[in-house]
Amino acid sequence: MKKVVLTIALLLSFVRFFGQTLVRYGNQTISREEFIRAFRKNNMNVKPSEKAYRDYLKLYIRYRLKVQAALDEKLDTLAGQKTDLQNFKSQIADQYINDESSLNRMAKEAFLRSQQDLRISYIFVAAAKNASPADTARAWKKIQDAYRALGNHKDFGETAVEFSEDPFAKTNRGDIGYITVFDLPYAMENIAYGLGRINNQGQPVSSVSRIEGGYVIVKKTAERPGWGRIRAAQILVAFPYQANDQAKEETRRRADSIYQAIQAGSDFGSLAKKFSGDNLSFQLGGILPEFGIGKYESGFEQTAFGLKKDGEVSQPYASSFGYHIIKRIARKPVSSQADQKVLNEWKEKIKADPRVAVSKKEMLQTIIRQTHFKEYLPAGKILWDYTDSALQNKKPSADPSINGQTVLFEVPGKKYRVEDWIAYRKSLKAAPNLTNGKKNEDLLDMYRQTIAFQYYKDHLELYNPDYARQLTDFRDGNLLFEIMQRQIWNQASADSIGLKKYFDAHVEKYWWKPGADAIIFNSPNLPAAQKLTSRLASNLGDWRKQVDSFGGQIQADSGRFEWKQIPGHGNTEPASRFTEYVSTEPAKNAANAVQFAYIVRKYPSAQPRNFEEARGLVISDYQNELEEKWLEVLKKKYPVVIYEPVFQSLPK
C-alpha cells in the first residue's frame, strides 16, 4: 500500500515539476494543451485512447521537428512566405475583430426576445441629431405635451393622431401590429422589450425616449409566444387600377374560381404562373422568400401563419392589393433551446444588422484598454479652429499650444499628430456621405476608431489567442511544404542515380500483378457511354478522335492496369471473363460517373516492372526513405523527450 501511495505521490510531483509540458525537442516544447487541441482538430471521429494518442503523438512530433528545421533555416523570412502569411492575415482578421462578450450577450438577448412577439403602438416626433436648438426644443415640447395628455388618461390612439409625426399615424392610430426581434431599430426594440408585462393594471407605456431621428413614446398592447418564420407561396388576383366595387367583386369571383380549381387538384405553381399578379413571385410558382412577422401587413401574416400544416391552402384573403390565395410550404418554429449553434446563428444576424455598431463601440473600449491607447486632446475649441483654418487653406492663428506636430493619439510604437488628423479630414472630402450632418466631435471619433481598429488589426495576434494559433498553423503548414520540397521531394525527383540504385535494391517490390493493357473511359451518364461504345465497336484504333468528338464530356486513359483498377472486375478472377478488344460492362464509380474499359492485352500472371514502368512508385518509396533518414538527423539535432506522467494525464 505504501508503494502505491509513493508511486502516486511521485507521479503528481512529476506532473508539477514538468508543468504542462508534454514533449521537449531541443530547446522547444509541446504543451499538453497544444497537443490536445491538435489531436481533437485532426481526429474528430477518433475516440481518445492511449493507442490513439500514441499514434498521433508520433506524427505530431515528426511535424514539429520538420517545422523547427524550417524555422532554423529562416525559411519564414522568404518573400513568398511573408506574402502568403500577410494575405492570409488580411482574409481572416475581420472575423476576429469583434467583441465576443458583447456579441454573445446580444445573441442571448435576441434569442430571448424571439420567444415573444409584441404588439406595439407608438407616438413619434422628429428631431434629427443635427437639428437646430430651436427645432429640438419644439420637438421636445410636442412630445412632452403628448406624454402629459396620456397622463391625463387620453386614449393612446387619439393622442397618436393628434401628436405623432409618423405619416401613417392618422390611419393606424399609432398601432404598427406585432413585432419581433430585428423588426424595429435597436433603440426602439430595447424600449419595447423593456416594457413590463400586460396585467390587470393595464398596458405598459414607456416614458419619452430619444432615438435616432427624434423622440418616441411606446405602448405594448398585446403579447404572444413567438411565431417564428414561414415559407409560403401566393397567388395574387390583383384589383384593376382604381377599381370600383363591381371590379372588386369580379376580382373576388376570379380568385374563388382559382381556389376551387386548387381544391379540385390543379397545380398551385402552374396557376400562379398563369394568374398571379405578384411580379416578384409568379415566375417561381408564387414562392415567396422565407419571412417572419413584420414583413407583410398583419392580415396576410395572420392568414399564412394560420395554416395548420404544410401544403394547406387558404381561402382567398382580401387586402388593399387584391385577393391572396396562400399556400404553406414549411413552418420554422422559434428555437426553444439556446444551444451554441442557435446562438451562433443569432450572432451572424447581429453582424449583418445596424445594431452591431453597439458591439463595435464596446469593442473600441476593449481595444483602447488592451492596447494602452492614449489621448492628448487640447482643451476647448483650439483643435476645431486649427482644423477649420487648415481645411480652408488659411494660416491657423498663432497658438503656442497647437501645431502640425502636436500629438493627439498614441498607440505602442506610433504617434498620431495634428497633421495626420488634417490629412484624414481632407481625405473625407471625397466621401461627403460620411461627413454630412456630423460635427467635428463625431468626425474625430471616426478618426479615433479608424486608428484604434487598424492598430488592433495589424497586431491582432498579440491580443487574440485563437487568431494567433490560426496564423501559426497556416505559417507552419506553408513552412512544412517549403522544407519538404527542398529536402525531400525535389531531391528525390532529381536524383536519377539514387532512384535507379533504390530500384535495383528493391526490384522484388515492383511487380505487375495480373491485369491487362486497357483503355478506360469515364462518361457522365449511361446514354453517352452506350453511344461511344457503338462508335468504337467498328474501329477501336480511332478511340482518341471519338472521345474528342464528345467535347470534353468523356475522358479516357490508356495503359497497363491491374485487374482491380479496371471497371467491372468484380470479386472473381476476371481474366477468363474479359475478352480482348471487347468492352467491359459499364459500371458506376464513387463519383457516380459511368466507367467501362476495352481490354487490349491480358496478362494472366505477375510480371516484373522495368525501371520506367515503376518510376512513380520508386520516387514515392525513395522519398519515404529520404524522409526517414532526415528525421533521424533531426532527432539527433533536437533530442526528443516525452514526459510520461503528463501523457498519462491526457483525457480519455
Instruction: For residue 447, give its domain range.
Output: 372-458
Question: What is the pLDDT, as a whole number, of residue 9?
Answer: 43
Domain CATH code at residue 577: 3.10.50
pLDDT digits (tens, 9 = 90+) for 294-342: 888 889 999 999 999 999 999 999 998 999 999 999 999 999 899 999 9
C-alpha cell at 252: 373576388
| Distance separating alpha carbons of residues 21 and 9, to the nearest angstrom | 19
Q: Which has the closest alpha carbon to 378: 419, 410, 407?
A: 407
Question: What is the pLDDT, as a whole number, of residue 100?
Answer: 82
Q: Which residue has the cell 405635451?
A: 145
Same domain, 219 and 239: no
Question: What is the pLDDT, as a whole number, of residue 13?
Answer: 45
Measure CA 455 to chain center. Answer: 24
Q: Do the domain assignments include residue 347?
A: no
Domain CATH code at residue 216: 3.10.50.40
Q: Do the domain assignments include residue 80?
A: no
Last residue of a domain, one of 225, 241, 258: 225
Task: Give Cβ neighbours of residue 327 (< 8 Å, ≥ 6 apart).
Answer: 232, 233, 234, 268, 286, 307, 311, 312, 313, 314
Res 572 pLDDT > 60 = no
Q: Do the domain assignments include residue 65?
A: no
Same domain, 191 and 249: no
3-state SS track over 272-301: HHHHCCCCCCHHHCCECCCECCCCCCHHHH
Same domain, 580 and 526: yes
Q: Do the domain assignments include residue 591?
A: yes
pLDDT digits (tens, 9 = 90+) for 373-427: 999 998 888 999 999 898 988 887 778 889 999 999 999 999 999 999 999 999 9
Among 97-106, 171-180, 295-304, 439-448, which stretch is predicted with the lowest mean pLDDT? 97-106
Same domain, 204 and 241: no
- Tally the C-alpha atoms within 13 A of residue 282's C-alpha that lie toward its C-beta: 14
Q: Do the domain assignments include residue 643?
A: no
Q: pLDDT band at 220, cuts 50/70/90?
A: very high
Q: Which has the closest alpha carbon to 523: 598, 594, 597?
A: 594
Q: What is the DSSP letter of 74?
A: T
Task: Give Cβ neighbours of residue 379 (< 8 Å, ≥ 6 apart).
Answer: none
Q: Do the domain assignments include residue 1?
A: no
Same domain, 553 and 527: yes
Last residue of a domain, one of 209, 225, 241: 225
Same domain, 121 and 220: yes
Same domain, 216 and 270: no
Same domain, 237 and 218: no
What is the dihedral angle through the alpha carbons of 149, 155, 157, 163, rounded to the nearest 10 degrees? Answer: -10
Measure CA 189 to chain center. Answer: 26
Same domain, 526 and 439: no
pLDDT digits (tens, 9 = 90+) for 25-48: 999 999 999 999 999 999 988 999
Domain count, the chain: 4
pLDDT digits (tens, 9 = 90+) for 631-641: 999 999 999 99
Last residue of a domain, one of 225, 251, 266: 225
Q: Do the domain assignments include residue 43?
A: no
The mean per-residue pLDDT over the stretch 423-442 comes to: 85
Sheet holding 414-417, edge to edge: 374-375, 407-411, 414-417
Res 193 pLDDT > 70 = yes
Q: Do the domain assignments include residue 202?
A: yes
Among 146-155, 546-555, 582-591, 639-648, which stretch is predicted with the lowest mean pLDDT? 582-591
Same domain, 249 and 303: yes
Same domain, 210 and 236: no
Res 12 pLDDT > 60 = no
pLDDT digits (tens, 9 = 90+) for 438-487: 888 889 999 999 999 999 999 999 999 999 999 999 999 999 999 999 99
pLDDT digits (tens, 9 = 90+) for 612-625: 989 989 999 999 99
pLDDT digits (tens, 9 = 90+) for 240-299: 988 899 999 999 999 999 999 999 999 999 999 999 999 888 889 999 999 999 888 889
Q: What angle do CA 29, 31, 36 make, to 5 degrees?
A: 135
Same domain, 262 and 200: no
